[in-house]
């Protein structure tokens, strides 16, 4: 069961290698984080597919094909530069980071909270809340705190 930092590494490496699209393990958490990245505009699309290529038509996940299931993320580049420069995990198995709404507000303002640096202009943080996996500002709108999974800039 790959953790969220596995996705961070794959996405960051894919952008650095200037790949067009990358295949990551097809899990609910990966899908949720990929959806947030898509909504924020870091990736162009999220597709389910094979280990070779994305599906053109719908293919249901069965015990026969489960091993080949992947999520394909189409990466974006602008002005000869990757749109996502860095994606790193915040909460790690060695140190879990769970934040309250006040701490999230201070992160959003650019100030430090719990030894985590504040967000810079253009930076996002993805956290899992009781309302699901959300970006930091969406979580603040809902008034929800939670475990801060990763940050992307």
Residues that bind other proteins (CB under 8 A): 40-42, 76, 78-79, 81, 83, 120-122
> Nearer to other proteins by C-beta: 31 or 44?
44
State the nearest-atom distance from the C-beta of 103 to other proteins, in Å: 19
State the nearest-atom distance from the C-beta of 12 to other proteins, in Å: 16
| Encoded tokens for 47 | 């597709």
Reduced to 3 states, what is the DSSP secondary structure of residue 34? Answer: helix
> Nearer to other proteins by C-beta: 2 or 110?
110
> Nearer to other proteins by C-beta: 2 or 41?
41
For 1-4, the CB contacts below 8 A with 24+ separation are 1/27, 2/27, 2/30, 3/89, 3/93, 4/29, 4/30, 4/33, 4/89, 4/91, 4/149, 4/150
> Nearer to other proteins by C-beta: 83 or 101?
83
Beta-bridged to residue 46, according to DSSP, are 73
State the nearest-atom distance from the C-beta of 37 to other proteins, in Å: 10
State the nearest-atom distance from the C-beta of 66 to other proteins, in Å: 33
Q: Using an 8 Å Cβ cutoff, are 12 and 37 in contact?
A: no
């Amino acid at each position: 069961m790959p953790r969220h930092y596995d996705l961070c590494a794959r996405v960051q490496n894919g952008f650095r290698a200037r790949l067009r699209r990358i295949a990551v393990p097809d899990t609910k958490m990966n899908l949720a984080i990929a959806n947030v990245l898509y909504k924020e505009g870091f990736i162009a699309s999220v597709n389910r597919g094979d280990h070779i290529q994305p599906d053109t038509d719908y293919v249901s996940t069965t015990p026969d094909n489960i091993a080949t299931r992947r999520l394909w993320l189409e990466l974006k580049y602008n002005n000869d530069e990757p749109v996502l420069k860095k994606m790193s995990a915040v909460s790690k198995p060695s140190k879990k980071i769970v934040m309250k709404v006040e701490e999230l507000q201070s992160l959003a303002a650019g100030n430090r909270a719990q030894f985590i640096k504040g967000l810079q202009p253009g930076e996002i943080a993805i956290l899992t809340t009781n309302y699901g996996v959300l970006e930091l500002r969406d979580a603040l709108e809902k008034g929800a705190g939670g475990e801060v999974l990763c940050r992307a800039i």
